[in-house]
Structure 1
Amino acid sequence: MALIYTGIQRTVAVLDERSTALEAAQLMTERFIGSVVVTGAARVTGIFTERDLVKRVIAAGRDPSGVRLRDVMRQDPVRVGPRESVGRCLDLMKEHRCRHLLVFDGEECVGIVSLRDLVALMLEEKEQLIQQLTRYITG
């Protein structure tokens, strides 16, 4: 699975729901990411994030090496289509109090978008607008 974002192709981190929270934390640390897509029986079953690690594992006093993702993941994560607007994604994140959305094209998970991705995209769009306005003003 990959999400094309501003010309960069990134592979989405995926772990089986029988994997441990420790394995997820190690993968997220290794890739400098904040979430992993969780699968089971060849389909997406949830998402596990840094926030889930802190709240559902560490703060609960559980041993990350003994906790299975299926027991601490967020089931039925918020989904968007590949052509969803930045504004709508931000609204969904606010409404559902989350920082990651799974991107589905029909029944296939094709990527993930984070709040960081959306902020970077908005900044890029603003920079392009500034350049266009500067060219217009300076002729």
Structure 2
Amino acid sequence: MKNVKELLATQSAKFNFISSKATVLEALVLMKVANVSYIIVRDDDQYKGIVCEKDCLHKITLNGLKPEKTLVKDILIKDFPIVSPDDSTEHCLELMNSFQVLYLPVFNGHQFLGVISVYDILKETAEEQHIKHKHDYTYA
């Protein structure tokens, strides 16, 4: 399996950022337009956390809050585990499983590089399996 750096290299640059001062409704609209289920929260180019659709549903709907009046900073997740470019995808899966998260921010020191999702890892695994099976049939 590839490491995080190799997975990031296969992604198109899709950094979807929003300010912590934006409303949750603005975050949801941006997620919809970008066709993603999470958004990175940054203020002055500094990473603050992540907001996911699921969090919006749970924190807004179940608490009777209004997305047009609730600020992103009030629902963002600050304590996602993070990974480095050199981490293995196996390590990523272990973290995702342990913390029950679908996304992992990638940092090189303090520099934010992107996000690895469980879907990225599943896609890579499926492609590796396809290549392996194609190779097996070629020489059979």
- Structure with higher strand content: 1
Higher relative contact order by CA 8 Å / sep ≥ 6: 1 or 2? 2
What fraction of aligned residue pairs are identical, expressed as a percent? 24
Segments of 5+ residues of structure 2 without an aligned counterpart are 1-5
CA-to-aligned-CA distance 1:76-110 (integer Å, 9 cap, x gap) = 32111123212111110110111110011121111
1:49 aligns with 2:52: yes
The equivalent position to 2:122 in structure 1, one of 105, 119, 124, is 119
* 1:5-84 alignment, distance < 5 Å: 5=8, 7-84=10-87
Scaled by the length of structure 2, the TM-score of the pair is 0.89
* Shift, 1:58, TM fit: 1.6
- Aligned match of 2:3: none
Paired residue secondary structure (2:135):
helix
Segments of 5+ residues of structure 1 without an aligned counterpart are none
- Aligned match of 1:85: 88
Scaled by the length of structure 1, the TM-score of the pair is 0.89
CA separation of 1:22/1:60 partners in 2, compared to 1, >3 Å: closer, same or farther?
same
Query: Would you identify which runs of 4 or more consecutive aligned residues in structure 1 move more than 3 Å?
Result: 3-8
Q: RMSD between aligned alpha carbons?
A: 1.7
Aligned pair count reads 135
